[in-house]
Chains A and B, each alone.
Chain A
Amino acid sequence: MEYKTTLTTCTYCGCGCNFYLESLDGKLIGTIPCKTSPVNEGKLCIKGWNVHQFVQSERRLTTPLIRKNGALVKASWDEAIAYTAEKLKGIKADKGGDAVGFFASAKVTNEENFLMQKFARAAIGTNNVDHCARL
């Protein structure tokens, strides 16, 4: 019998609301907004309230997918990264860096977003950098 609350930060947007993920015997069962958090003071939006659901969802993607002949096919990370690198190089060579756009994410860390824009500007050579909240 192990009931645990784990204090963590919401992955859905950049607000950074704090909540407890409730787990019972190793399975996530619920979300409780943290009242002592200065960010959200015990309140959440509908996405935050349901954030525990995607973690163990059967519909969650567990491998990269590559579209082959119109259908999405499971791929290894090595294969997916090699494929993406090759395509990006090809597009840059044919059409220039501005033919590529980069969308950062609120679901990742500042450091990861920094790396992404650095990659866009320094490696691909474009200022086409935007953010998922404007999608």
Chain B
Amino acid sequence: MSQDTMIQDIKAHVAKLLEDGTIAGFVGLIEQNGHVAPHLFTSGEKLSGFSLGDFNSPGDSRYPLNKTLTTIARAYPHQTFGVLVRGCDERGLFGLFRLNQLRENRVVAVGLSCPDALAGACECKKPYPDALVAGEKTQVPALKQVAQMDGKDLAQRFDFWRDQFLKCVKCYGCRDICPMCFCNECSLECEDLIKKGDLPVEVPVFHLTRAMHMADRCVDCGLCDEACPSDIPLRLLYKKTAEIMNVEFGFTSGLNKKEKSPLSTMGPSK
């Protein structure tokens, strides 16, 4: 399906939602002045400039729209909003519902599927949302990256990650861009764990603190990886964390809407 057709399908769908008052606004992407930006479309705008976030290649200009949605929804809790979602974004929505950051009955997801190339590059577990409005269900690609890393011996892996973590400039961009990071008090700013102003960061405390905290939240959108000025392969780290969660607890963040996190359930298993 061509990109133009997908844009038209979504625009028609959203225009109807705005017109009949189902939603008060639509959080999506807009292309203007030669750039792609997050945007809140309202009924008067006729969705001009609406973009899927494909600037030079598919999905290269994705933004944390769920984060924008959460911010707006907090200010307008009684309004219902639409939001543009890919597979990862929808997993994020399910997670944010579970964690009481968004109310399910106040969100209308409008989904598009990702092309094979993007799904393959992401090694996405589900490259299409349930709320599919444009495109067709993409095939789940082969997952190789984690196995490749696991194939190396312990000393090699240790060296690899130590070298990667030492590149960190502590910009906190991985946290700031993350649509699943919403804590008022961030453990990465807890003085007992991480000293303020210290560089290089303590290896591996800084990065593993975040990996632990994201274990049942990360939806593998990859925005942290893209935001890292030091090109630390954060996504690979969180993919491994997610794999452990899946192997140990049978849990995959955001894959099933109603699934509770094993990390928030106390007591022995039945």
Interface of A toward B, CB cutoff 8 Å: 1-3, 5, 7, 18, 20, 22, 24-25, 29-37, 40, 42-46, 48-49
Q: Among A2, A7, A32, point to the contact of B63 (Cβ < 8 A).
A: A32
Asked if residues B72 and A43 are in contact (CB atoms below 8 Å), the reply is no
Asked if residues A1 and B24 are in contact (CB atoms below 8 Å), the reply is yes
Q: Taking the nearest CB of chain B, how far is it from the CB of A44, in angstroms?
A: 6
- Can you show 9 pairs from A to B with CB atoms below 8 A apart? A3-B71, A3-B72, A22-B38, A32-B63, A33-B227, A34-B35, A44-B171, A44-B229, A49-B176
Asked if residues A5 and B38 are in contact (CB atoms below 8 Å), the reply is yes
Given A22-B68, A24-B71, A49-B176, does the pair A43, B228 have CB atoms closer than 8 Å?
yes
Interface residue B160 (Cβ < 8 Å from any Cβ of A): no
Asked if residues A36 and B61 are in contact (CB atoms below 8 Å), the reply is yes
How many angstroms from the CA of A100 to the CA of B171 in the assembled complex?
36
Contacts of B158 in A (CB 8 A): none
Q: How many residues of B contact A (CB 8 A)?
A: 34
Asked if residues A36 and B171 are in contact (CB atoms below 8 Å), the reply is no
Contacts of B34 in A (CB 8 A): 36
Asked if residues A3 and B68 are in contact (CB atoms below 8 Å), the reply is yes
Interface residue B249 (Cβ < 8 Å from any Cβ of A): no
How many angstroms from the CA of A42 to the CA of B229 in the assembled complex?
9
Q: Taking the nearest CB of chain A, how far is it from the CB of B84, in angstroms?
A: 14
Interface residue B90 (Cβ < 8 Å from any Cβ of A): no
Q: Taking the nearest CB of chain B, how far is it from the CB of A48, in angstroms?
A: 8
Contacts of A46 in B (CB 8 A): 169-173
Interface residues of B in 166-204 (CB under 8 A from A): 169-173, 176-177
Residue of A nearest to B42 (CB): A1
Mask: chain B, 58-94; 1 = CB below 8 Å from A; 0 = not? 0011111000100110011001000000000000000
